[in-house]
Every structure is written in C-alpha cells, then in structure tokens.
C-alpha cells in the first residue's frame, strides 16, 4: 500500500488570553492509499484539529505534513486552497450546502471553484454523482427541502465533484438517526471500494466494524492505531 499521508512530529498549540493549549502533541501517523480510517475520541481530544492539519485548513505549530508528494505545511494560502480543491473532498457534520442554490448548483459551484472538470462535462458528472449517492431526483431542489440524510448524500456528492483522491469527513453522521448514519457509512465504504482513501471522525460505535483502522485520540495524543477487527472491540468497550 502506498504511503499517502504522513504526519511527522506534528503538534498544534493554540494561543489564547488564557495561555497556550496543546491540541495535538507529537503526532506521528501514516495513512496508505485506499485505507478506510476512523478517528475517534472524546469531545476536545483533537479530532477536528487533526483533520484540519492534514487538509491544510490549519497549519501545525511544529512538524511536517506530507500528502502524496506535497509538503503541505510549507504551502501558502492560495497554493493550499488550489491543492485542497483538487486533492481533498471534505464533508461536515452540518452538510454546509449553500441554501440559496439547488443541489445541482451546489455541485456545479464546487466544480467552478476548482476548474478541473471540463465545463462541457459538468452537467453529466453532476447527474452521475447524484445517482451514485441515490438522490438524482432531488437535483433541482433546494437543500432545505431534503431530509438530513439526503443533504449529507448531496454533500458527499459535492465532496466527490472534482475527483479527489482523499475524502475526509468530520462527524458526518453526528446529526443523523442511526439507520441513516449506517447508510451514509455504507456510502463511504463504497468510495473506499472504488479506490478512494477515506478518513471519518465518528461517534458511531456500530459503524466501527466497517473501518480498516481505528485511531483514538486522547488529549491530543494517539492512544492506539492498530488494525481492525480486534482493537475495535476494545475501543467499543471504552466508548468515546
Ligand atoms: P474535537 O474535534 O476532538 O472535539 P478539537 O480538535 O475541536 O476537538 O479541539 C481540541 C482542543 O483544542 C479543544 O480543547 C478545543 O477547545 C481546543 N481548540 C480548538 N480550536 C481552538 C482555537 N481556535 N483556539 C483555542 N483552542 C482551540
Ligand atoms: Mg470536532
């Protein structure tokens, strides 16, 4: 398996009036192409900070972050924005679809920003993506008229719009009922089966069985990073 993402001695220190706070402490982590990785841990353990550092949304205070051949901690903001748009598909807990645009227009906007899919092919690609996530009938509706599960499907289709190699999702099922959450996890699994590398921050204990690897954060440190299925049981017992 090719080493796709590599974090070496990464720390993140937030400065505030109250002083310094270490949200990530000396993180060493490798993720291979095609891996399906869960990131778990209590609220405040550093999960979102970790995702933000490896997508370049946030800069580490120390250490290096390499994705494919790019040292992303060395890029400036505009290089990062362009790189992220081409390489990373990002999915959020509250979907973050633009409410004044239809579902199809939300996907079209994501394609306009990055401009990797030729204009003439975008309409067809939007149709295919919405079909893939099972909401092709909702293409011309506004986000508010869709259920939470459908909105998250739309957000996943949008994350896929520019054919990124990596999908990262920060508590994508945190606002969904358990049955819908399971169907969303299945969708991520389908993406892994198609060759994508997928990282998901999750609280869904029942879903952990799907993942190749479960990484648990505790106070900004990785507690264990082992292969499933054995460690999953241990993780489930000490629920996050
Ligand atoms: P999680 O996603 O696991 O809930 P986060 O990565 O969001 O945790 O946050 C980790 C810790 O860093 C928390 O204690 C949080 O309060 C702190 N933190 C996050 N962002 C900031 C910030 N911008 N400034 C100061 N502290 C922050
Ligand atoms: Mg978080």
Split at pLDDT 50, 70, 90, the class of 230 is: very low
Split at pLDDT 50, 70, 90, the class of 232 is: very low
How far, in Å, is the centroid of ligand 2 from the Cα of 123?
34
Residue 228: per-residue pLDDT: 45
CA distances from 63 to 46, 156, 237 (A): 16, 30, 33
How far, in Å, is the centroid of ligand 2 from the Cα of 92?
10
Its pTM stands at: 0.90
Domain-by-domain residue ranges, the chain? Answer: 33-60+75-239
Quick: pLDDT tens for 11-52: 999 998 989 999 999 999 999 999 999 999 999 999 999 999
Return the residue whose CA atom lies nearest to atom 17 of ligand 1.
23
Which fold, 33-60+75-239?
Rossmann fold (3.40.50)
Contact yes or no for 36/189 (Cβ under 8 A):
yes
User: In the numeric block, which tokens belong to residue 18?
Assistant: 């109250």
């Amino acid at each position: 398996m090719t080493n796709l993402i590599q974090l070496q001695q990464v720390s993140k220190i937030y400065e505030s009036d109250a002083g310094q706070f270490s949200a990530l402490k000396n993180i060493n982590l490798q993720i291979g192409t095609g891996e399906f990785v869960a990131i778990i841990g209590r609220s405040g353990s550093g999960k979102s900070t970790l995702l933000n550092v490896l997508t370049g949304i946030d800069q580490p205070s120390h250490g290096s972050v390499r994705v494919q051949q790019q040292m992303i901690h060395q890029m400036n903001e505009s290089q990062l924005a362009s790189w992220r748009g081409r390489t990373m598909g990002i999915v959020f807990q509250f979907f973050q679809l633009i409410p004044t645009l239809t579902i199809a227009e939300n996907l079209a906007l994501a394609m306009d920003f990055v401009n990797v899919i030729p204009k003439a092919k975008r309409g067809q690609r939007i149709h295919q993506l919405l079909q893939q996530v099972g909401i092709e009938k909702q293409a011309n509706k506004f986000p508010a008229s869709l259920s939470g599960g459908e909105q998250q499907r739309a957000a996943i289709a949008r994350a896929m719009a520019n054919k990124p190699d990596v999908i990262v999702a920060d508590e994508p099922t945190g606002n969904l009922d358990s049955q819908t959450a399971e169907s969303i996890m299945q969708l991520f699994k389908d993406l892994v089966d198609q060759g994508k590398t997928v990282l998901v921050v999750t609280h869904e204990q029942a879903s952990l069985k799907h993942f190749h690897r479960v990484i648990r954060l505790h106070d900004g440190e990785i507690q264990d990073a082992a292969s499933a299925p054995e460690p999953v049981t241990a993780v489930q017992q000490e629920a996050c």
